[in-house]
Structure 1
């Protein structure tokens, strides 16, 4: 394998021009009606399809791996003791899931207010949910919540879905049921604060058709964190510290993946979160280990893939770790050329946008 040059480590090497009007503010009317750009990672050749045609790109015997995490409503609107408005976005849902009625639980939160709340101050939300500020650093605060009833149920009732910052609501924004559409149809396990967006394109009917074709379907879990939207702030990307996210691979899933690798069948990952989970849990001999933990794998050009052969993914932000991941799989020049072509063809970008199939 050719060693990456110094250019591969420069943040500026992962930039591209994107007209703002190509940032999708709402999904396609039907999930699988989005567009699909096929990229051959070996030749750089492209083809333009509809997402429903993804089934034609999958082969009998392929094993398709999806992330079944479920996006949780964690965006809270409330008031400070002074009466001023405050917004809190819970960025780690696990303490919520573990707390019972009346039990205090502490969560890191992104807090937005006219003035940053000080440690010791209190915040008030609907349904009796309250919070005390334990620590405050920049926009991230450690809040200790108390709730008279089951916290998860209260959040489901009063909190909003945490959309990415580039998706705007209100004003002349298009109407959209984000609680339904910013969620895969196979989502099971609550805990994500962002969707594994490549999976948003699949309908139950398309999944049934793909499996009837002889493609094996396997679920793993990685709870996507807010860090997926955090910008890289270092010029040398090797110095970037990757955020950690909770993952879980069941013994049954690991067995199915390893069986496919042993037989030389293709493993097709749906989304970069599936890629990171599979490669983080992989071993040199090309097998994955069942288990759970915190995944902080940063994939950039020069990375050796042990598990993933092909990838279904959305288009990613300039200078993002996700753009670096797909560049590691398909080659930076291939990716940037494909992105330039997608811009020219007016594809829709980012979470609610169109998709790529990299093979």
Structure 2
């Protein structure tokens, strides 16, 4: 099965062609084109939805054409066209979904509207052929969730963030310290030369049985300490980043451990601990999760760095998995700014 995937939910315009050869994966990525918008948003310290949508309109045709050319295929060769139908910035989602529908209609191909979160959830099957069920830590700029992935379309949210997402917290800390955008890589880079023990930041939710996250208090603590020692020297910034990142690593490992316990209590032993999303690119977080997996005797699967951020390959793969099961969507599908994987959320009032 050969599927074109389109991703436009935030500030990456992406398209890819993926081949599904075996039901459990791994798959074959024939092309994966990502056009980032860092320069367009850098001056604002974050993504501006209107600018992002306009940039998607300008870039998408060329990105799709390059993805097809790189893969050496034409629309006629495809078995389906997939697009991220949400959740995300609705202007961008509309651009991608509209383009995918047009291609599917023109080529008489089935269309799959993919939940962006499901695409992250299934990436480990694309890269490593991970078998169901497994525990997923999805950590990005917009989402922080612990999910039991039991099958295509079968997800149970075990924990989530009660306020900021992990990537959002990194970006906000970077902005308050005058670092560049996106913030995660900047904080990680500065933390390498810092003293992680200088500032005693809190570890919110640490030790609680329910595997939820809360980052706003930690973020506020960084701001208060930065104000206390201002004006900041380069050493101060390094130490603040190192101390913040150390707190995040401790929290992530502890919350993932709570997620494993809850998973085992409800569903038995998972096949693996999987981490996906942009924050999965953070080296110290990956290493902490590998240590946790080793303690539990579980493999820890993290996508290669090129698949941690938003990309078309994960959309194409999720579309292929869905189309293989006959889960095509009609051309009347409406793009969705919010689209939780698990309607029965684990934490009332928590972010979807």
TM-score by length of 1: 0.30
TM-score by length of 2: 0.31
Greater percentage in strand: 1
Greater percentage in helix: 2
